[in-house]
Chain A
Amino acid sequence: MNKDHAALAADFNKDEARVDWHDETLWFVRAKRDRAAAQVPDWEVLRETASRIKDNVLSNLSEYLRRFEAEATRNGIVVHWAADAAEHNEIVLSILRNHQVDRMVKSKSMLTEECQLNEFLHANGVEVVDTDLGERVVQLAEEPPSHIVLPCIHWKKEEIGELFHQHLGTPKGNADPQFLTHAARLHLREKFLTRRAALTGVNFAVAETGEFVVCTNEGNADMGAHLADVHIACMGIEKLVPERRHLGVFLRLLTRSATGQPITTYSSHFRKPRPGQEMHIVLVDNGRSTHLGRKDFRNSLKCIRCAACFNTCPVYRRSGGHSYHTAVAGPIGSILSPNLDLKKYSDLPFASTLCGSCSNVCPVKIDIHEQLYKWRQVIVQEGNAPAGKTAAMKTMSWVLSNPGVYHKAGRMGRWFMLNVPFTVKNRFNAWFHQRELPDAPKQSFGDWYKKNRKHG
């Protein structure tokens, strides 16, 4: 069986200094987000407005999808529909085959991570080069990204220096970010100039105009798309906004929430292919339409993938993105993934302290921590809780609902802790991991009350 979040987090926590560094790096990004948000006087109005626009989108999604398809088609874009990851991957491959293309550049798209497109194309003889610097780093290392905005946040510059030395031929021992970024610029420029196909993600798509917006700081989506004969843009069906003017609300929120910048360097609006170019959009469902029907959980489809909830989460910061074993990690990934596979991701809603910080920073006001709590109930009711936890909870419930048993158990527990503490304070007791157990009192509150009331 694959390791669950707790086991993977335990692996990550073996190197305490590294965990501290990871924690502090992400908190630094969270602090930048706070400063950026504080400079916007109407921040809370913006969040509320964004959330309500997304309510409207979800309640009219089929109509907006039809409108978007009609407008995009009118603009000369070819629109495809994919029910699941497999169909999405097949569509991309068939477009590439039609153009006899076996090499492609790709900018960041969490959807293609979700669909495992790279692996699929690789198996079918197509080379994919990820062009976002962070994504290129994890691709060279044959790892998935650990964060949706900062893909290699778990890598140290010295390690990237060594990776680039091996793959790009940079001098051994050089770990200067400026130098390494420049090396990647030269390496990837050659790819941009020689690849005939480019795939990008989509941040927002506009039903009214049939256009889509892609946001990057590096300019990699644009470099790929504008130099390629074929541009394929892949998007989940929930990415729509009704009208172009609504982009104003979302673009004000997105990057401030993500990195604390006022806006990304490039917010590119693609509406028509360039003369001589082919432009495709793949609209992907992959469980989203089912999720839409779950009243308690559909709000998570409002997500604009800023990752503010990652950066603020005390569990994410100390367990690392890979411990979530899913394309979208963090609190939002923990409420989206169970929809895709309840059994496989049944550990994720428990990877939280339910502190609620995620909901507080969410720019579209998703009730993330409440959904984490609700998923736990669904998981336990459907019998997906770990056997140990189920047994413990059943025992607990039996003890707590029988006063006689409760008092007897309390007396026994106190006796064990006072007389043979090693039977409780050992590595077989999951509660003893990373916790100090308190000294047991000599008597229970019940005993104390009985005694003192008699004397009084």
Chain B
Amino acid sequence: MRRSRVLGIGIRKIENMGSRDSILGRVKANQPEQRELPEDHAGPEGVSGDLTPRFISVVEAIGGAVFLVSGFDRIVTILREQFPEVRKVVSGCSQLGSFAAATTLAAGLGDPHGLADVDLAILPAHFGVAENGACWLTEGRMVERVLPLITQNLVLVVRRDAIVATMHQAYARIAEIEAGGSYGFAAFIAGPSKTADIEQSLVLGAHGPKSLTVFLLDEHLSDAGFF
């Protein structure tokens, strides 16, 4: 079926805010009588214990990789193994200065287009969500809004004790974080960018990162078992 090229839409001068009052008037006249908000729903009952296994399995199921680590030294070691080829790295984690030579970029960046050739971005997320593997980042942690999208590979660092069970707890956490100042932009990021638009075949790396790696940071962890 071809799109109709014939349009019955003529050019009309827009009057300043002309339609606002008429729309609001019609909505007011037609809206049904008051219905109260339901009681708050906080998710399934009886969720307790360690949320780490659930978080890890969900992130892996949506195409990401997870490493449970004791500190940034371990992260550097693993990054060197996982991304031996990368040239341009941007980090939002000050602890990774030794790994990411381009960390200074963060300060003096003016134009987001300059990030088009970033191979790897490492950013600290506020928290993760066990039920869907998403991590929450506000723009203050993104260096640039486009960075977590435009980089070829994305690494997120999350504290292990900052995993919440469901999206209900997630928005409660966001409200706490907001108390320290409101964001202009923020996002839940769950896995690498993906599409299944061609015959439902899942392909990782649509327009954004081709890979996502999450480091769960737990200083109490012994490295013994990991070396």
Contacts and interface: CB of A to CB of B under 8 A. Distances in A.
Interface of A: 8, 25, 28-29, 40-42, 45-46, 48-49, 52-53, 55-56, 58-62, 65-66, 75, 81-83, 85-87, 89-91, 94, 116, 119-120, 123, 131-134, 137, 142-144, 150-153, 155-157, 160, 177-178, 180-182, 185, 188-189, 192-193, 209, 217-220, 222-223, 226-227, 237, 242, 244-245, 247-249, 251-252, 259, 261-274, 283, 285, 289-290, 292-293, 295, 298, 322, 325
Contact of B112 (A45, A62, A227): A227
B82 interface: no
A193 B116 CA distance: 8
Nearest to A39: B131
Contacts of B186: 268-269, 271
Given A59-B32, A181-B206, 7 more contacts: A53-B38, A65-B23, A219-B209, A222-B208, A223-B150, A265-B192, A274-B112
Contacts of A244: 171, 174-175
B198 A157 contact: yes
Contact of A293 (B1, B30, B36): B30
Contacts of A131: 207
Nearest to B142: A226
A182 B26 contact: no
Contacts of B14: 87, 90-91, 94
B27 A289 contact: yes
Interface in B131-184: 131-134, 144-146, 149-150, 166-168, 170-172, 174-175, 182-184
A226 B38 contact: no
A81 B19 contact: yes
Contacts of B168: 245, 248-249
Interface of B: 1-5, 7, 9-12, 14, 17-20, 22-24, 26-38, 40-41, 43-45, 58, 62, 112-113, 116, 129, 131-134, 144-146, 149-150, 166-168, 170-172, 174-175, 182-201, 203, 205-209
Given A56-B37, A62-B28, A226 B145 contact: yes
Contact of A143 (B2, B7, B28): B2
A157 B201 contact: yes
B32 A295 contact: yes
A226 B187 CA distance: 13
A61 to B, nearest CB: 5
Contacts of A59: 31-35
B34 A266 contact: no
A82 B184 contact: no
Contact of B26 (A45, A192, A245, A285): A285
B179 to A, nearest CB: 13
Please list the 9 inter-chain residue pairs (A to B) with the smallest Cβ-Cβ separation, ordered nearest first: A219-B208, A293-B30, A272-B184, A262-B132, A218-B206, A226-B146, A134-B197, A289-B26, A177-B201
Contact of A269 (B9, B129, B183, B207): B183
10 contacts: A59-B32, A62-B27, A133-B197, A134-B197, A219-B149, A219-B208, A248-B167, A265-B190, A265-B193, A266-B190
Contact of B44 (A40, A52, A181): A40
A60 to B, nearest CB: 7
A25 B199 contact: yes
A350 B21 CA distance: 37
Nearest to B43: A42
A120 B183 contact: no
Q: Chain A at the B interface: mostly helix, strand, loop or mixed?
A: helix
Given A25-B200, A56-B35, A272-B185, A90 B12 contact: yes
Nearest to A117: B9
A266 B2 CA distance: 32
A350 to B, nearest CB: 20
B187 A268 contact: yes
A333 B23 CA distance: 23
A42 B41 contact: yes
A41 B36 CA distance: 25
Nearest to B172: A245
Given A49-B41, A193-B113, A244-B171, A265 B194 contact: yes
A125 B192 CA distance: 36
Contacts of B12: 86-87, 90
B23 A142 contact: no
Given A66-B24, A160-B198, A217-B195, A223 B44 contact: no
Nearest to A43: B44
Given A249-B41, A267-B134, A269-B185, A222 B145 contact: yes
B132 A143 contact: no
A290 B22 CA distance: 12
A150 B194 CA distance: 13
B185 A274 contact: yes
A28 B9 CA distance: 40
Nearest to A46: B41
B3 A219 contact: no
A301 to B, nearest CB: 10
A56 B36 contact: yes
Counting chain B CB atoms within 10 Å of each CB, the highest count among A8, A177, A244, A298 belongs to: A177
Contacts of B33: 59
B53 to A, nearest CB: 15
B207 A248 contact: no
Contact of B23 (A48, A53, A83, A226): A83
A248 B166 contact: yes
A132 B197 contact: yes
B40 to A, nearest CB: 8
Contacts of A222: 145-146, 149, 187, 208
A265 B44 contact: no
